[in-house]
Homo-oligomer: A and B are copies of this chain.
Amino acid sequence: MRAWGKPRVAGTREDMRVGVVALAGGVGAGKFLRGLVGVVPPEDVTVVVNTGDDLVVHGLHVSPDLDSVLYWLAGAMDRERGWGRADESFRTTAELRRLGADGAWFGLGDLDLATHLLRARLLRDGHSLSAATAELARRFGVATRLLPMTDDPVATRLSVIDESGRERDLHFQEYWVAREARDRVLAIRYVGADAARPAPGILQAVEEADRIVICPSNPIASIDPILAVPGIRGAVEAARDRVVAISPIIGGAPVRGMADKLLPAVGEAVSATGVARHYRKLLGAYVIDRVDAAARPEIEGLLDGGTVAVVDTLMVDDAVATSLAAAALACVGAGA
């Protein structure tokens, strides 16, 4: 494994050091980040996480992507299911459903509920979402810095046509969890993004980072909301030479999720090439799967001289994620 970034020097402000910034959605990002912190000291990683999917369930602020990343980095995730906690149960949610509670369509696990109750308490006590997230990370023993993309409310909403032909406006979670992505998506909006400010530390971290990684997350549902917060896209574009993305599409399909429904809604192909085209102004390098190797020349053309690496990207275990992270970091930044 190659060396990366600046050497750590005793006596310097190591706590201020930004090695890698990762832009992250939920499960795909979580899997990748477990690999990343295998090649970079966890405390040198700053993860900027999508909050466009956040919602209030039973009065509790739920941040699905922050929670996925937290659980994966803490080793508390359910690896098979992808989201939520290992050894999870859903007794409170089942009882809320029996009692006819609104919002019980969004299933909160009993262990997961502890996170939401603790976050709700921190927010009610006046902490920002950033501060609450840092406190949760501390309590889960996660040394990596987790930042929500913003402390301001942003909601990813979809205009869809439902099965009866009616146009509807849905919160992302209604579309994805309640209606299982069965509606045809016409358009995506990040409501509130225009007025949102990047969470404290994001712009500085992007500016100072040795490398910036766009995790293999849904470009439309997870990464674009982050980039829609004023200032973040510009900062990433300005750092383009240090930016590498991993394609979340392998062989024309997402590993999980609904990117195949959302990419067409913004006019992009459901392919490694389509995602590269979508990100092209941001990237110094791009990582695709071996099954998509034939697309390499076309993608190199799109990236205007950027590196395209071809490796195994299906993260069936931490070892693959670690190799993938090492390969991604090798494409950009100091010594690349």
* A residues at B contact (CB < 8 Å): 58-60, 89, 91-92, 95-96, 98-102, 110-111, 113-115, 117-118, 120-121, 124, 139-140
Q: What is the oligomeric copy number?
A: 2
Decide: B92 and A110 in contact? CB cutoff 8 A: yes
Decide: B89 and A117 in contact? CB cutoff 8 A: no
Of A89, A99, A100, A120, chain B has the most CB atoms within 10 Å of the CB of A99
A196 to chain B, nearest CB (A): 25
Further 7 A-B residue pairs, CB within 8 A, beyond A59-B59, A60-B117, A96-B114: A58-B121, A59-B117, A59-B120, A91-B110, A91-B111, A100-B139, A101-B121
Given that A59-B124, A89-B91 are contacting pairs, would A96 and B117 also be in contact in the complex, using a CB cutoff of 8 Å? yes
| Cβ–Cβ < 8 Å partners of A99 in chain B | 114-115, 118, 139-140
Task: Give bound CA distance, A199 to B140, whole Å.
Answer: 43
Contact of A111 among B92, B100, B118, B124 (CB under 8 A): B92
Task: Give bound CA distance, A91 to B110, whole Å.
Answer: 6
Decide: B95 and A114 in contact? CB cutoff 8 A: yes
| Cβ–Cβ < 8 Å partners of A118 in chain B | 58, 96, 99, 101
Task: Give bound CA distance, A59 to B139, whole Å.
Answer: 19
Decide: A58 and B92 in contact? CB cutoff 8 A: no
Given that A89-B89, A100-B139, A139-B100 are contacting pairs, would A95 and B121 also be in contact in the complex, using a CB cutoff of 8 Å? no
Task: Give bound CA distance, A184 to B60, whole Å.
Answer: 39
